[in-house]
Every structure is written in structure tokens, then in C-alpha cells.
Structure 1
Amino acid sequence: MNIPVTEPASDFVPAYDRAALLAYLAEHGIDQTTYDHPAVFRVEEGLDLKADMPGAHTKNLFLKDKKGRIWLISAKQDTVIDLKRAHKVMGSDRLSFGNETLLWECLGVRPGSVTALGLINDPDQRVTFVLDRALWEADIVNFHPLVNTATTGLRQSDFRRFLETLKRSPFVVDFETLERVTV
């Protein structure tokens, strides 16, 4: 399924694109492996591509609650996320998907490219980052590097170092039990 990508109405220009993100990782000694591939817009579309890439693959949900708070949930691709119940453990109001303009302004990515690595474009920390426990415990995690034509794999220690460089602490949730996890 190809989702048409339109230019966002905002004139915002993100500080980081794919090249700048990968340069940032290198400058901070964060090891990564990036695989180029055809564009994928949904988890199901990339299953054959991911089969040869080690580690946990992700799905990422960009959300907004009724009070206007912005959320990014990153979870293993097969994790079931019940948004009608998850908001309670997250401490949010009812959740809905954020629009394309808000996504662009907060993470500097387009639909189909939502990624935890987009937090690099959120220096004001408008987005609350929620991480699936299964992903927090995975040895290797895979995210789009701000575009959906590649996947970047990071060892867990490197992913955590990336978050530390951004001064970000994830809100870890076990989506299976819908409980917050202390990390």
C-alpha cells in the first residue's frame, strides 16, 4: 500500500535529516548498522526485508491526547497496543493519532517514517517517549533513520546512549500487562 506523501503546511525545517542523524551517531560514538531498502509504510509491508536484519523491529505510534500532550510509542512490531486502555498507564487522556503537520514539527519525519530516532528533532521535549518493555530488553533495536527507505540497527547500549545524549528517559510500559516498568 502506498500512502501519498504531501508537503506539510508548516515551514518548519528539522535540524536533522538521515545524513545528519547518522553523523550525530558517529560523532557520539554510537555504533549502528543501516540497511537501505524500498520504502515501507506499514509493519506488514517490510516483513520480508526485516527477515535478514538481526534484532527487534519496531512499530512507532505518534499520538496526541485530548489535553494536547504529544506521545511517541515505540514497541516491538508484534506488540499489541490497546490505545483504549494504554492511556491510563501512561497518565494521558484519550489518545488519537497526531496529524502530519504536528508529526513534521515535532519529529521532522513524514508519515510512514515515525521513529524513536526522530526525538533528535525534538530539543524542547514536546513529545513524551513511551517504550515497550520488550523493546527496552531487546539486544538490538531497529528504527527508521528518519526516512522509511532504510532501517538502522542499534545495540541496546547504543540506543540508550543515544537517548542519554538527548537527555531523554523513556517511560517504559509492559503493553502485555499494561503496567509501568521502573528502569
Structure 2
Amino acid sequence: MNAPEPEQAPPPAFDRARLLAWLANRGVAHVTHDHPAVFRVEEGLELKAAMPGAHTKNLFLKDKKGRLWLVSAHQDTEIDLKALPRVIRADRLSFGNESLMWETLGVRPGSVTALGLINDPDHRVTFVLDRALWEADIVNFHPLANTATTSLPQAAFRAVLRALGRSPIVVDFPRLSVLTDATI
């Protein structure tokens, strides 16, 4: 007799195809580049060299009180996970598990992206954005799958955040401070 399968969260409302259709239906300027799967920043450096804009690293975190956090930063930004909680008013941070990531953002490890916020209509995940990305002309994120990169001009990225009802906590990571005049 086979053991029952562990319970899985239902599939997310949005996958790559539905996300890209959502962007197109709203007239959000974007370009998506297909490429082999990339799991870590270092793996995609050659691929990214040909794509303009700021490339990202994204961390799905959980704090000691169970609050969820998505940190999107420039690929070269150093993130001090011991100092960050003080800046964003969180408790000790650790990485969130795969099932929680799937449940809230609809992505698997290696595909974490700010665009996953589309699968979090209840705003369970607090969005933290690197000032370097906030000020970049073009930002690049996985479109819910690590086999592609979607480039968004800054105005388009902010339009996405507005449509999702998201106002990120913008952090100047080198100074470890919150940018207080960051409005969508």
C-alpha cells in the first residue's frame, strides 16, 4: 500500500503565461527573454550581460514572528540578514520554506521574483526593494519561472506595483536605511 501524498497548496492563480498576458492586457511595457534555467545569480552572469538593465536577486524570508518578506535587490548588493531586521522592523530573519513560497508567491526555489507578488492578493508578504532597483531605468525579474527574464522599464515596474496595491519598503542597503520619500 502506498503512502498518501503530502498535501500541496493548490496551483497559483498566475503562472508565467497568465502573468505575461496580464502585463500585456494592461499595456505594461516589457520584454521577456527565454534562457536555460538559472538558480543563482552567478549562473546567469553571461546570459544577463546581453540584457540591459539592473538584474536582481530575490530572497523569500520569514521572521521569528512568522511574518513573510520578499527582498528584491540588485544582483551585486550585499544583504546583511543580521542587520536588516532592525531596518525593516522585523524579528530575526531566516529563509522561508518551499511550501510557503509556493503558497504565497506561486514560485519554486530559484524562481523567486517580485512578480510573484501577483499571487499574493492578501498581502501576506511584505515587499522590500533595494534602492538600486528603485532608481534603475530598467529592472529584470524572472516571470515566475527561472527559464526566462522579463525586463521592465521603471515606469512599467511601478505601474505593476500600483496595480497590485504594493508600496515597497525601499532600503538603501549600503547605508542600511529606509528611503522615506519612496512613493509609487
The two structures have a TM-score, normalised by structure 1, of 0.95
Q: Is 1:147 equivalent to 2:148 in the alignment?
A: no
Per-residue CA shift, 1:98-140, capped at 9, x if unaligned? 0000000010000000000000000000000000001100000
Structure 2 CA distance for aligned equivalents of residues 11 and 102 of structure 1? 9
Q: State the identity %.
A: 72
Return structure 1 stretches of 4+ with deviation > 3 angstroms. none
Compare CA radii of gyration and give the structure with the larger one.
Answer: 2
Aligned counterparts, 1:25-64, within 5 A: 25-64=23-62
CA contact (8 A) 1:8 1:104 kept: no
2:9–2:99 Cα contact (<8 Å) kept = no
User: Aligned residues, how many?
Assistant: 177
Contact between 1:56 and 1:138, CA under 8 Å: does it hold in 2? yes
Counterpart residue number, 2:112:
114
CA RMSD across the alignment: 1.1
Which amino acid in structure 2 is aligned with residue 13 of structure 1? Answer: P
Give 1:88's match in structure 2, choosing from 86, 108, 111.
86
- For structure 1, list consecutive stretches of 5 or more residues without a partner in the other structure: 1-6
Structure 2 match to 1:75:
73
Letter in 2 for 1:93: D
Q: Could you tell me the TM-score, scaled by structure 2's length?
A: 0.94
Question: Does the 8 Å CA contact 1:9/1:101 hold for their aligned counterparts?
Answer: no
The answer for unaligned runs of 5 or more in structure 2 is: none
- Once residues 46 and 166 of structure 1 are traced to their aligned partners in structure 2, the CA distance between those partners, rounded to angstroms, is 28
